[in-house]
Amino acid sequence: MDSPAPDGRRLGASLRSKLALLVTLMASVPLAVIGQLALQANADTLASTQRELQIALLEDLGNTIDGELADAEAGLDLIARVLADASIDGDDRLLLAKTGVEARISLDHAAVYDREGALIDVIAEVGTDTSDVPERLDPAWMAALVEHRSFTGPAIAVTEALPRVPIVVAIRPEGPDGPITGYVLGPVSTAGIQSRLAQLADAHLGTGPDALFIVDRELRILAHVDADRAIGLPSLADAPALAGIDPAALDPRVAISGEYAGPPGTMDGTMVGTVVGMPGHPWAAVAQVPRAIAYASLDQMRRLLLGSLLAVMSLATMLGLLTAARLIAPLRELTAFAGELGRRRFDLRLAPRSRDELGVLATAMSAAAAELEAGEARLAHELAIRHDLGRYIPEEIVERVVRREQDMALGGERREITVMFMDVVAFTPLTERLEPEAVVELLNHLFTMATEIVFRHQGTVDKFIG
């Protein structure tokens, strides 16, 4: 608390407060700087780790897609070779083709087309819905098979079911380079991809909205952490994660990571996500989590640092106040002692409480008090001398005697002087008539007047007798 100074002025912050503040700053500022650097390093590490995790998840998902489609393609290729083998009886070829469908988890039916793309027959497991099989093949698909072993078409929406991805292979009885005599189409279910996607999201990203999903070239949902979202191939073109991505340019070179505004309801409104193009397919996979979840450990570390900083500041402030109190106590004694000296209490002494600079100062102030006390005694003695001499000697001579300017050696000095004797006429009869008190008062007036006249002419009163 501020208090008025001896001269009445208002003091500023006390030395105790300044010392406590200094100790607090010395303890907290380095901790705050180190903590901030640690937070920044942790944030960079978390960002890198989250990005690497999301890329690894998307690569795993890409491998699942490749495996599912490759398995289906192998099954369709087997069916095509069986159907093209003229050495096998017709009924046996159909039986082998059906066995090939049943042997593949990713296939539950396959459609056979002639060289013109017209549907011939559908090989399916019992109870399989084959409504997704087109009556004719798209000419663009058939044209693509002239130079390629297989072709993957755009995803097909299935009523109240996950979408399917059509894969077409050509039937070449004369070998890989021979003419095409027909086609085999297999609508591949995305159930396997959906299952793996859900496992990855649940294990690493949580089940938040849009945590993990796959879109095709038209930005339609092929697989989603919420399987119901994939039914009917709804569009996700307005998803923040896909903002700025050209659907026509989807390929493995697409790889984007960063932070962006999340959908309404997202914790802290920001998402951390990665978009990667799928190798071999015009698709993109997206992995994303709310920033609050991705950087949860950073927020926890920030709260821990803030709590530690507050604790250190509190402890440092308490320690600073205690230390300052120990340092200020001698200063207060010195201040009080100086005040007593100002009131001319030179008889007081201050015992040093330590052997440091404050102790030296206390000793010096006590010595100064002793010197002042001795000086006061000398002044009192000189004043007494002045008073006594001033009754008989002029003031100038008294000053010279006090200043040691007057030669006080025995023998004196030869000078021409005038000696005047003063007597009171008829003093004896006067004393007989007056009271003693009146006589004394009369003599005092007489001697005072005479002394002033003598001193005015640089004279000296030698003695009063009678």
Residue 102 contacts by C-beta under 8 Å, 6 or more apart in sequence?
125
Q: Is the pLDDT of residue 318 over 50?
A: yes
Query: Which CATH code, of 3.40.50.620, 3.40.50.970, 3.30.450.20, 3.40.50.300, is assigned to 33-294?
Result: 3.30.450.20
Three-state DSSP class for 223?
Answer: strand
Count of all residues that appear for the chain in the document: 466
The pTM assigned to this predicted structure is 0.64
Residue 391 is predicted with a pLDDT of 66
Confidence category of residue 52, pLDDT binned at 50, 70, 90: very high
Domain boundaries, the chain: 33-294, 391-456
225-268: pLDDT as tens digits: 999 999 999 999 888 888 888 887 777 778 888 888 877 766 66
Q: Is the pLDDT of residue 82 over 50?
A: yes
Work out the average pLDDT over 218-228.
93
The string over 59-74, giving b where at least 16 C-beta atoms fall within 10 Å of a residue's C-beta and e elsewhere, is: ebbbebbeebbebbbb
Tell me the C-alpha distance between 161 and 348, whole Å: 103
Residue 369 is predicted with a pLDDT of 81
Average per-residue pLDDT for the chain: 83
Helix residue spans in 191-278 (DSSP H): 191-200
Residue 311 contacts by C-beta under 8 Å, 6 or more apart in sequence?
none
Confidence category of residue 160, pLDDT binned at 50, 70, 90: confident
Neighbours of 464 (CB within 10 A): 12
Tell me the C-alpha distance between 1 and 14, whole Å: 7
Q: Strand pairing partners for 288?
A: 273
125-155: pLDDT as tens digits: 888 888 889 999 999 999 999 988 899 999 9
Nearest to 107 by CA among 63, 146, 82, 77: 77
391-414: pLDDT as tens digits: 666 666 777 776 766 665 656 677
Residue 2 is predicted with a pLDDT of 46
